[in-house]
Amino acid sequence: MRTSLARWWGLRLVQQAVPPKPSHMGMSGDHGQGNDERLNLVKYHLRRELPVIHQATPTDTLALCHPNVIFRDNIHGITLQGKRTLQLSLMAFRQSLPLLVSQPSCQVLWLDRRASQQLHARWRIVGFSRTSLTGQIWLDAYTVFHVKNTGLIEKIELDNVMPRKSEDKERARHWPFAYSSSA
């Protein structure tokens, strides 16, 4: 049905090879994959998982993480260790985001490799403010993912993208999420 509908519209469907899930990679890291291949595999899965990280649906995001992953939130000065605490932090984020923002959507602005074992991502959550009449607001963040030789993320560093105004910086300290308003 799908291919006939695509042919009717004159579209070509392209079959893409899907790499294996990161949970299938062994912990020793000696399965014939080079570091570049493992890093590209993690990059592929992050590109797919980051846009839906704010949704309450379970995803494979934590399958990318080492069991003793370190999450460092430089916005609020919090450091968490372990996959379970990261999962609880994500659940709290997903539950409290709709209280501040209606119709949230996550956009990955770019995801790139900057160092040998690091992926750098800049992403944004956009929505309409529930607490003020300023209109559309967004949360900009810059994240560094440190990937081990096994292909699992061992450390996540979350930084705030520099606010445009000093009052945004002050507001970021008092709010659960650092955000900038478009007004």
| Segment 115-120 mean pLDDT | 86
Under DSSP, is residue 90 helix (H, G, I), strand (E, B) or coil? helix
Q: Does 36 score more than 90 pLDDT? A: no
Closest Cα partner for 144 from 153, 157, 154? 157
State mean pLDDT over 47-74. Answer: 80
Question: What is the dotted CATH code of the domain comprising 34-181?
Answer: 3.10.450.50
Q: Is the pTM of this model over 0.85?
A: no
pLDDT band at residue 59, thresholds of 50, 70 and 90? low
> Do the Cβ atoms of 41 and 19 come closer than 8 Å?
yes
Percent of the chain whose predicted confidence (pLDDT) is above 90: 12
pLDDT computed for residue 145 by the predictor: 92
The pLDDT of residue 116 is 79
Quick one: pLDDT at residue 18? 43
Size of the chain in residues: 183
Is residue 117 over pLDDT 60? yes
So what's the pLDDT on residue 56?
62
**Selected residue with higher pLDDT from 167 and 76:** 76
- Nearest in space to 124 (alpha carbons), one of 110, 105, 107, 136: 107
**Are 74 and 160 a contacting pair, CB within 8 Å?**
yes
State pLDDT tens for residues 135-177.
Answer: 788 888 889 999 988 889 999 998 887 545 544 555 444 444 4
Q: What percent of the chain has pLDDT over 70?
A: 66
Cα 94 to Cα 154: distance, rounded to the nearest angstrom: 22
Residue 66, CA atoms < 13 Å, CB-side half-sphere: 20
**Rounded distance between C-alpha atoms, residue 5 and residue 40, angstroms:** 33
β-bridge mates for residue 122, sequence order: 110, 142
